[in-house]
C-alpha cells in the first residue's frame, strides 16, 4: 500500500477529489472521521491510500471558515457591488472582521462602478480602506488581479450578484463558471454556485464559493470584534481604559477619531451594531 499526500479540491456528496501533484483521485473518507466527529473539508491536506482511494488522515489545519466551509485559506477576495445590489458596507465590514479573526488576508474588489453616475463617494470609500491597510481593486483591473493568485489558496466571497463568477470568467474564460441574472425585486442575484471547488488559476488555487444568505460571528467575543477593526488598534492605547470597548466609556480616543473623521463613521457605526447584537 502506498500512502501519498494531497489536497482536497472538491467535495460532492461523499466523493472527495484529492489533487496530488497534477493528478486527481476520487476518494472516500474512512469511517473513523465520522466517529471522531471530523469532516474533511475542501482545502484540507490529507494522506490517501493511492491504491484503494481512501482518505487515511487529515493533516492539521492552519485555519477554517464555517460559511463557506473551507480550510487552509491564504486570502479572501471580497466582491463588493456598488450598484444592483447597492454598496453594503455593513456586510463588507462584517466579512473583514471575520476574515481578520481567522488570520486570513482579505482583499477588496469593487464591481459595477460603470453603473454609477457619480463615483465620488465610492472613491472616498476606496481611499479610506486603502489608507487603513487593505488591498483594494476594481474588477476591471484584470492585469493587476492576475498577479495576486500565485502560490496562494484564494476564496471569492461577497454579496450574491456582486460578480464573483463573472470576474473569475474574465480572469480565465476556460473556467466557464455559471453566472446568474440579478433579481431587481430582491436586489440580489440567484445563487449559481452549487458546491465548493478549488480551481487552478495563475499558479494558485481559487474557490468560487456558494452564495450565502446569512453570516455570523461564530465563536467570536465582542473583544474579538473590536480587535479586528484594524484601524482601532492604532489609537486604543490612548483610551482611558485598557479594555475600552469604544462605546459608552468616557475619554475614548476611538470616538474622538470618529468625530474628527480620522476613522470613517460607517466603520464605527457598524462596529457598534456588531457588538450590540
pLDDT in tens, 100-137: 998 899 999 999 998 888 889 999 999 999 999 999 99
Pair 56, 144 in one domain: no
Is residue 151 situated within a structural domain? yes
pLDDT of residue 176: 65
| Domain region containing 52 | 3-60
Domain final residue pick, 14, 39, 60: 60
Pair 53, 79 in one domain: no
CATH code of the domain containing 35:
2.40.50.140
Q: For residue 157, report the phi and psi dihedrals to the nearest 5 degrees.
A: -150, 180
Per-residue pLDDT of 239-264, as tens digits, reads 999 999 999 998 999 999 999 999 99
Is residue 215 situated within a structural domain? no
| Helices 89-101 and 265-276, axial angle in degrees (round to 10) | 70
Is pLDDT above 80 for 160?
no
Pair 77, 183 in one domain: yes
Is pLDDT above 60 for 172?
yes
Pair 147, 72 in one domain: yes
What is the number of structural domains in the chain?
A: 3
**What is the percent of the chain where pLDDT is above 90?**
62
Q: What is the mean pLDDT of residues 50-59?
A: 95
Is residue 118 situated within a structural domain? yes
CA dist 55 → 15, 33, 60, 73, 98 (Å): 10, 9, 14, 20, 30
The secondary structure of residue 135, as a DSSP letter, is: E
More confident residue, 207 or 76: 76
pLDDT of residue 62: 93
Per-residue pLDDT of 190-244, as tens digits, reads 444 457 788 889 999 988 655 444 467 888 999 999 999 999 999 999 999 999 9
pLDDT of residue 182: 33
Is residue 217 situated within a structural domain? no
Pair 126, 235 in one domain: no
CATH code of the domain containing 269:
1.10.40.50
Pair 56, 77 in one domain: no
pLDDT of residue 150: 95
Amino acid at each position: 500500500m502506498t500512502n501519498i499526500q494531497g489536497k482536497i479540491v472538491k467535495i460532492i456528496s461523499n466523493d472527495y477529489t484529492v489533487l496530488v501533484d497534477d493528478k486527481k483521485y476520487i476518494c472516500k473518507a474512512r469511517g473513523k472521521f465520522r466517529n471522531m466527529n471530523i469532516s474533511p473539508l475542501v482545502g484540507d491536506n490529507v494522506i490517501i491510500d493511492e491504491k484503494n482511494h481512501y482518505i487515511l488522515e487529515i493533516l492539521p489545519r492552519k485555519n477554517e471558515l464555517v460559511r463557506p466551509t473551507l480550510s487552509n485559506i491564504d486570502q479572501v477576495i471580497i466582491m463588493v457591488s456598488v450598484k444592483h445590489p447597492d454598496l453594503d458596507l455593513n456586510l463588507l465590514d462584517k466579512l473583514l472582521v471575520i476574515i481578520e479573526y481567522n488570520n486570513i488576508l482579505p482583499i477588496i474588489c469593487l464591481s459595477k462602478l460603470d453603473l454609477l453616475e457619480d463615483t465620488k463617494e465610492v472613491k472616498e470609500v476606496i481611499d479610506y480602506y486603502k489608507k487603513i491597510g487593505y488591498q483594494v481593486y476594481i474588477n476591471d483591473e484584470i492585469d493587476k488581479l492576475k498577479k495576486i493568485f500565485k502560490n496562494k489558496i484564494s476564496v471569492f466571497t461577497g454579496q450574491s450578484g456582486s460578480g464573483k463568477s463573472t470576474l473569475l470568467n474574465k480572469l480565465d474564460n476556460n473556467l466557464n463558471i455559471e453566472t446568474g441574472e440579478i433579481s431587481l425585486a430582491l436586489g440580489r442575484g440567484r445563487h449559481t454556485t452549487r458546491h465548493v471547488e478549488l480551481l487552478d488559476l495563475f499558479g494558485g488555487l481559487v474557490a468560487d464559493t456558494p452564495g450565502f444568505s446569512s453570516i455570523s460571528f461564530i465563536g467570536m467575543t465582542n473583544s474579538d470584534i473590536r480587535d479586528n477593526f484594524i484601524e482601532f488598534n492604532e489609537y486604543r492605547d490612548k483610551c482611558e481604559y485598557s479594555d475600552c470597548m469604544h462605546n459608552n466609556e468616557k475619554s475614548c480616543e476611538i470616538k474622538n477619531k470618529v468625530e474628527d473623521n480620522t476613522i470613517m463613521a460607517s466603520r464605527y457605526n457598524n462596529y457598534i451594531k456588531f457588538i450590540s447584537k
